[in-house]
Structure 1
Amino acid sequence: MTETKLNEIHDHWVNNSTPMRYANKLERSEFLLKYVEKYVERKGKVLEVGCNVGRNLNHLYEHGYKGMTGIEISQEAAICLQKTYPKLADDAVIINSPVEDVIKRFLPNSFNLVFSMAVFEHIHPDSEWIFEEIARITGAYLITVEAEGASSWHIFSRNYKTIFENYGFKQVTESNCKEAGLEHYTLRVFKKVGK
């Protein structure tokens, strides 16, 4: 089997984002909200890496969170976000780009919360440097919801506890995601050490 190249991963998500399929998975956003509310104040700045149609950001927004930023590689998904969640689109910053192209632009500790849901698992091994950048821009909490044991041509198995604890975080919560309809996924909440 030929090793997957970075541009193949990017092309796949640019062309196969299926945003409306993600818009209908509200139980996942409700599951995430329980953990966000436990750790992050509503006045904090929030970044979602790989926001797709914006369902998670919109759910947080509807529950009083402001200061939203999303990074999304798919133009189709970014356009869908504007049509599906116009209030969020007006108030949020949505960056239509691969994360690799924009992550270094953010200042250290720019966000009170950075999170991803089934996105970090698709980061190509050539781009693993972004995890250190994620740690750099996270001011307080980081939440990952990822399939850690699965592997395929576009899923790269990793242990996010090991990765982010190496970058100055302490895991404070771990949970399976069955109630969110995400079999074989793990939610991890990390707190930046010293914050």
Structure 2
Amino acid sequence: MSIHDQEKYWDNVAEEKEFPTPFQIEEFEKCVSNEMKTLENSMNFRCPENRRFSRILDVGCGYGRTLNELYNHGFKNLTGIDYSQGMINRGLRLYPDLNLIKTDGELIPFPDNKFDAVILLAVLTSSYKDEEQENLISEISRVLKDNGILYINDYLINQDKRNLKRYNDYKNKYGIFGVFQLPEGAVFRHHTKNHILKITEGFKELIFQKTVYDTMNGNKSNGFYYIGELNKKY
């Protein structure tokens, strides 16, 4: 399935799908706030005032729910990108204060070293090919500043009968155990921890926490959240 086909799927469901995967904002703030606390001490500002200096990019922002959560926590320098025009339209209607931009889904349309943090929530799951994921992480590394923060929420391999059946059913078609196709045509991937650590090997792992998430279709799935710090000298 091509990016164009995935884009059509998300446009078609843009008004009906709700994304329940929680953003671990307390953990995120611990990492992103470190520099801001230093700035607070040197400039005698309150921390919430300084948060607006952190440039944060949400890649695959959907309808902007996570950026809106950050906005309500005092972060103001926020940008979201998504290849679904339907999702962007919904987000701009719901959260008119946010900066949400339609992209082509391949390149991140910003210069090198622009952002302090990048957020990636349930995006790897719908960019299921190894090369697509590797290119995405490469683009994120390019636009992140040195020592910038990458936050990921996504899904891990499950061991229940339902998931194992569809992993096996689609392994020959897609060549990856963990990839499956929904009846409406969209393709998704559940990952191993080793795979996630491999594609993020240019980052220093700060947190990798396994958890269980509700999916957008009302099921349970193994998942994780990850926070890494970019070191461009790696």
TM-score of the superposition, structure 2-length normalised?
A: 0.68
Q: Does 1:190 align with 2:228?
A: yes
Distance 2:91 2:11 in 1: 15
| SS across alignment from 1:134 | helix
Residue 76 of structure 2: SS of its match in structure 1? coil
Q: Percent identity?
A: 25
The answer to whether residue 189 in structure 2 is matched with residue 156 in structure 1 is yes
1:29-178 aligned within 5 A: 29=23, 32-41=24-33, 42=51, 43-86=53-96, 88-89=97-98, 93-100=99-106, 102-103=107-108, 105-125=109-129, 127-128=132-133, 129-139=135-145, 140-149=148-157, 150-153=178-181, 154-158=187-191, 159-165=195-201, 168-178=202-212
Q: Secondary structure at the residue paired with 1:177?
A: strand
Query: 2:228 corresponds to which letter in structure 1?
Result: F
The residue type paired with residue 156 of structure 1 is R
Q: Deviation per CA, 1:45-101, whole angstroms, max 9, x where unpaired?
A: 101111111110000011011210101222222122122122x33xxx31112321x
Is the partner of 2:101 in helix, strand or coil? strand
TM-score (norm 1): 0.80
1:7 aligns with 2:15: no
Q: CA deviation at 1:171?
A: 0.9
> Deviation at 1:37?
0.8
Unaligned runs of 5+ residues in structure 2 are 34-50, 158-177, 182-186, 216-220
How many equivalent pairs are there?
A: 178
| Distance verdict in 2 for CA 1:9–1:94, change over 3 Å | same
| Structure 1 segment 13-32 matched on structure 2, within 5 A | 13-18=10-15, 21-22=18-19, 25=20, 28-29=22-23, 32=24
Instruction: Provide the alpha-carbon RMSD of the alignment.
Output: 2.3
Q: Which whole-Å CA distance do the structure 2 matches of 1:20 and 1:39 have between them?
A: 30
Measured in 1, the distance between the counterparts of 2:114 and 2:16 equals 27
- Contact 1:14–1:73 (Cα < 8 Å) also in 2: no
